[in-house]
Amino acid sequence: MSRLYDTVEPSVIDDEMLRKAVEEQGPKEEAGKIAKQEGVDYCDVLSLRLDFRNILKVDNLWQFTKLTKLQMDNNIIEKIEGMDALVNLRWLDMSFNNIEMIEGLDKLTKLEDLTLFNNRITRLENMDSLPNLHVLSVGNNKIDQLDNLIYLRRFPNLRTLNLTGNPVCDDQGYKLFAVAYLSHLVYLDFRLIDEDTRQKAHSLYENKLGELMHNEKQAEVAIEAEKKAAQELLKHKDAYVEHLNSSVLFESMYKEDPEGMKLALLPGLQDMLKDFQDKFVEVCMKIFEFGMKEYEKRCKEMREFNTCIQDAEAANKKQAVTVIDAFEEYKKKLFTELLVTSDAEVQERKMNEYHEGVNETWDKLMGLEMQLVDQLEETIKDFERNMTDLMSQLVEYIQGLITQVRDLENSHNEKLLEMCMTVLEKVVKNEMDEELPDDLRMLFVDKDTIVNAIGASHDVHLIKIDNREDEIVTRSGAWLSGHMQKIHADECARNRARVVEITNYIDHLRDEIDTQFMP
């Protein structure tokens, strides 16, 4: 209701309004009476109507988590907000308000029907998180650009669209444009799209549409590739060897090493550096391959472990269920017998029998559970031992390889030093043929300086390598302990839950006979 709100006092969504609305729209008659007696929780309400209430601001709806249908038409709302808690909403009606912009719908991922009729919207936007949208009504707004329709292409389920009363509809080609670009559409502006229009639209926009589709497809492929790469990287990270299949580590050594960069300009060093890099990357590749191999092994081990645990649990559950089923059968029989006998003595005896049976069932169930706990404990121990072995193998081997890397760096360093010494001699004797860059020349002032520079470069490199090694060791260790902890915790939780369940069940059995046959 787009009336000026300074004439009427706007109302606020408060507890009283909500309670009234819920009560009015809730169950009737006997059910209503019950509802009134025990009160309706807002979190159980499935549909809510707040229309013609002069509401200015959407607020205080956070309790309605199960809400699927919300009607807030004919208010004076200016902004879509405060609905982030309504994640189950499927049907939203905010027509006849003063909304100027589509926003705040990001959390309503299940939304299927959105009505924003008669507002002041100028653009279709901010609806990327609504893949299930089926019906969209944005008539009587201020949308004036045909491009807005292209935005709607992202909704594969959109079947009904209403745009009447927008400036955009005055466009000559509006209808055909909409039909062509939104090929899934069945109803446009209250009318069924006939085959004729569809064909006309298609032939008219064939070329443009083809181009658009081609672009969309390419974008899709790109996104797909990106996703795949990200997944791959995640896998590498799980194997602790990310980026080791390229020269990233090598480059990072030189990135934070100003002396090394300067030295790299020395004549004749390029070839040596190239050689060094090749060897370095080769070892890195080895590390990477080994890491991935070990990762596969670990995954297989874990799968094996999980299936075995599941099997054991399923088998145990089956046994327990048979015990319970047998007892339920017995219980049913006993209760019918108890109903027909009136002899107090027989009743007494039967009751005692029943209680004994309950105790026996408890014994059996708890026995089964204890057995399972023992079995699982042993298996988990085995698993832990194997995993620890695997991990230490991995770490040892990788450390061995990293030592190779370090050796490479050392030998490179020695060579570099040697070379620098000869260059220094030449520089001192002024026999240098080539001109050296100024900052490099600065290093060759005396022996100490150059040795220091080379030493600094070497240190930086070693620190980089050490860091990488440490990272692998700590991360793998942390993962192992974390994973094992989780397994232990899960098992513990499972055990507790089962014991609670059994106790609860046994208590229920004891109560049942007492409530039913209390003298």
Partner 1 sequence: EYPESYKDNTNKEKLILAYVENYRRQYVHLFRDRKPLFLNPLNECGIEKFVCTTLRPTLLSYKALYHWQGCAEFVADYLTMKQLEPPQELPMCLFSPSTILKRQLGNCFDFSNILCSLLLGAGYDAYVVSGYATKEICLADESRQICPLLQPKKEVLKEAEKPEPRKYTVKPPRDLRSKFIIKMEARRKKEAEEEEKKKQQEEEERIAELEKPPPDALYGLRIHAWVLVRGGKREVPEDFFIEPFTGQSYPPSSPSFLGIESVWNSTNYWANMQNCASGCKDMSFDLMDTEKWEYMLAGSDQTQIEIPDAEEELYDLDDDEKENEDEKHLDMPATWVLPICVTKNQYEMRCPQGKKTTLYKKAKLEKYANYLLKDGLVTRLSVYDNNELTDLKRVQESFENREDKLTTRVHQGGLITEDFVEGRPRSLQQHVYKASNPGPEAERTMTFFHKARNKLRVDGLCKREETPTEMTEHFVNRDDFLFLRHVLFGKRQKKVAPATAEGPPRPILKITEKFHRNDALSASKDVEEQIFIIHEDKIQITYHREDPNITASTRDFYKPPNAEEKGGSLQWSNDMTNTFQVNPHGSPAKNLAIYENLLQLIQTEQKSIQAVRSSEEEVKEILMDRQKEELASELAISVYDTERNEKAKKHRKELERLAMEEKLRRQEMEMDYLAPFLAQIGNPDKISKTQAFKLKEDCLADLKQRLIDKANLIQLRFEKETSELHKRQQDYQQKQVAMTKEDEEQYFNYCSEAMFRIHILELRLNRHKQMAPHKYMQLEQKLRQDPRLSVYF
User: Which positions touch partner 1 (CB under 8 A)?
Assistant: 27, 29-31, 33-35, 37-38, 40-41, 44, 301, 304-305, 307-309, 311-313, 317, 320-321, 324, 365, 371-372, 375-376, 378-379, 382-383, 494, 497-498, 500-502, 504-505, 508, 512, 515
Instruction: Work out how close the CB of 296 gets to partner 1 at its nearest, in angstroms, rounded to a whole number.
Output: 16
Instruction: Work out how close the CB of 58 gets to partner 1 at its nearest, in angstroms, rounded to a whole number.
Output: 27
CB 151 within 8 A of CB 171: no
Q: Cβ closer to partner 1: 240 or 354?
A: 354
Q: Cβ closer to partner 1: 3 or 486?
A: 486
Q: Cβ closer to partner 1: 35 or 417?
A: 35
Which alpha helices (DSSP H) does 256-343 contain, by range?
258-263, 269-340
CA distance 105 to 81: 8
Instruction: Work out how close the CB of 379 gets to partner 1 at its nearest, in angstroms, rounded to a whole number.
Output: 5
Q: Cβ closer to partner 1: 33 or 228?
A: 33
CB 125 within 8 A of CB 100: no
Instruction: Work out how close the CB of 320 gets to partner 1 at its nearest, in angstroms, rounded to a whole number.
Output: 4
Instruction: Work out how close the CB of 48 gets to partner 1 at its nearest, in angstroms, rounded to a whole number.
Output: 16
Instruction: Work out how close the CB of 46 gets to partner 1 at its nearest, in angstroms, rounded to a whole number.
Output: 12
| Strand order, beta sheet including 69-71 | 47-49, 69-71, 91-93, 113-115, 135-137, 160-162, 187-188, 191-192
CA distance 455 to 445: 16
CA distance 272 to 294: 33
CB 376 within 8 A of CB 488: no
Instruction: Work out how close the CB of 374 gets to partner 1 at its nearest, in angstroms, rounded to a whole number.
Output: 8
CA distance 517 to 519: 6
The residue whose two tokens read 């601001």 is 57
Backbone angles phi, psi at 315, to 5 degrees: -60, -45
Sign of the Cα torsion 99, 130, 200, 216 reads positive
Kindly state the DSSP code that residue 160 receives in the 8-state scheme. Answer: E
Instruction: Work out how close the CB of 501 gets to partner 1 at its nearest, in angstroms, rounded to a whole number.
Output: 6
Tokens encoding 179: 């039909």
What length is written for the chain?
519
Closest CA to 283 of 416, 409, 455: 409
Q: Cβ closer to partner 1: 226 or 490?
A: 490
**Tally of CB atoms within 10 A around 423:** 22
Q: Cβ closer to partner 1: 99 or 487?
A: 487
Q: Cβ closer to partner 1: 87 or 436?
A: 87
Tokens encoding 95: 């027509």
CA distance 10 to 7: 9
Instruction: Work out how close the CB of 369 gets to partner 1 at its nearest, in angstroms, rounded to a whole number.
Output: 9
CB 59 within 8 A of CB 37: no
Tell me, what amino acid is at 437?
P
Q: Cβ closer to partner 1: 31 or 492?
A: 31
Q: Cβ closer to partner 1: 14 or 501?
A: 501
Taking phi first (over 0 means left), then psi (-120 to 50 degrees means alpha), and beta for anything else, what does residue 409 get? alpha
Closest CA to 159 of 141, 128, 180, 182: 182
Q: Residue 47 is inside which H or E element, if any?
A: strand 47-49
Instruction: Work out how close the CB of 479 gets to partner 1 at its nearest, in angstroms, rounded to a whole number.
Output: 19
Instruction: Work out how close the CB of 111 gets to partner 1 at its nearest, in angstroms, rounded to a whole number.
Output: 20
